[in-house]
């Protein structure tokens, strides 16, 4: 772009056929390599430019407002406690038995667990990503294992509950339908414990708690972040269709049929062990 400097004494307004410097009231400086161009605009051109800028600003404001409104809608619609539900598996094409290393949330150590299943799915309503449950073999005795402080999403006060020993694990999985699965596969493994007694707080509808734990299987190692969230499954159930799905997880592919009952979940934002609880 060849730029020419305005000569001293030249009327800038003559560029637009306007005589007199009184009309030249706006200028923009543009630097390009070695040249500097001074552009003077008449008042009529300035008015047009200002109107154009106002139109652009109004348009951008409307777009941003729409994006913000849609963003809030998505957050509300995709709240985990509303978009996830629990379904038991009634039959599976393949019965899987496998040994893995799993962390114990209360004890903190890694333990070898024999998995058998699959026995259930924690499913998303918005994608094919899910969590596939495998029970422990043998099943532990149902007895108090520890006390936990639970902070639920949207709740002000925490809940203190007595939980049982870990009974199962949930592995990241995806549903297999026609075409590739939608959504990204998860990166968290959970243990499942029963909620035996609620000692403090309003939480009478709690059936089981899913807590993120470290998982090791051959060369696979998944470790949760310190602030990783958990889930709590409600006791209340709703009727659902007895669907059949193909699934794939770290232990392979399978085809399962789901029970015609589903249970809702509550997002667990924070949790911590506050002490062991001996059997009464």
Domain layout of the chain by residue ranges: 12-77, 81-275
Other CB atoms within a 10 A radius of the CB of residue 247 amount to: 24
3-class DSSP state for residue 26? strand
Task: Identify the weakest region by mean pLDDT among 84-98, 99-113, 179-193.
Answer: 179-193
Please answer whether residues 83 and 106 qualify as being in contact, where contact means their C-beta atoms are separated by less than 8 angstroms: no
Task: Identify the weakest region by mean pLDDT among 47-61, 140-154, 250-264.
Answer: 47-61
Please answer whether residues 134 and 96 qualify as being in contact, where contact means their C-beta atoms are separated by less than 8 angstroms: yes
Burial class (CB in 10 A: 0-12, 13-18, 19+), 128: buried
Please answer whether residues 2 and 33 qualify as being in contact, where contact means their C-beta atoms are separated by less than 8 angstroms: no
Other CB atoms within a 10 A radius of the CB of residue 32 amount to: 10
199 vs 10, more confident = 199
Q: What is the pTM of this model?
A: 0.68
Give the C-alpha separation, 129 to 247, whole Å.
10
Q: What is the mean pLDDT of residues 135-151?
A: 91
Task: Identify the weakest region by mean pLDDT among 126-130, 201-205, 211-215, 219-223.
Answer: 201-205
Q: What is the pLDDT of residue 79?
A: 38
Q: What is the pLDDT of residue 48?
A: 55
Burial class (CB in 10 A: 0-12, 13-18, 19+), 136: buried
């Amino acid at each position: 772009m060849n730029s020419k400097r305005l000569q001293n004494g030249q009327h800038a307004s003559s560029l637009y056929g306007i005589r007199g410097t009184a009309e030249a009231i706006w200028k923009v400086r543009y630097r390009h390599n070695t040249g500097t161009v001074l552009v003077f605009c008449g008042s009529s051109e300035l008015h047009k430019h200002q109107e154009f800028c106002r139109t652009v600003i109004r348009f951008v404001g409307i777009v941003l407002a729409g994006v913000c409104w849609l963003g809030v809608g998505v957050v509300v619609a995709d709240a985990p406690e509303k978009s996830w539900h629990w379904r038991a598996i009634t039959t599976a094409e393949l019965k899987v038995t496998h040994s893995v290393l799993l962390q114990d949330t209360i004890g903190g150590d890694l333990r070898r667990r024999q998995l058998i299943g699959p026995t259930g799915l924690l499913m998303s309503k918005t994608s094919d990503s899910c969590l596939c449950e495998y029970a422990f073999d043998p099943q532990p005795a149902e007895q108090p294992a520890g006390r936990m402080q639970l902070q639920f999403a949207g709740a002000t006060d925490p809940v203190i509950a007595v939980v049982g020993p870990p009974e199962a694990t949930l592995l990241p999985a995806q549903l297999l339908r026609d075409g590739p699965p939608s959504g990204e596969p998860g990166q968290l493994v959970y243990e499942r414990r029963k909620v035996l007694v609620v000692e403090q707080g309003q939480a009478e509808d709690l059936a089981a708690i899913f807590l993120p734990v470290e998982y090791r299987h051959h060369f696979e190692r998944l470790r949760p972040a310190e602030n990783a969230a958990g889930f709590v499954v409600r006791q209340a159930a709703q009727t659902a269709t007895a669907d059949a799905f193909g699934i794939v997880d770290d232990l392979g592919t399978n085809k399962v049929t789901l029970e015609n009952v589903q249970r809702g979940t509550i997002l667990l934002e924070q949790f911590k062990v506050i002490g062991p609880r001996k059997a009464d």
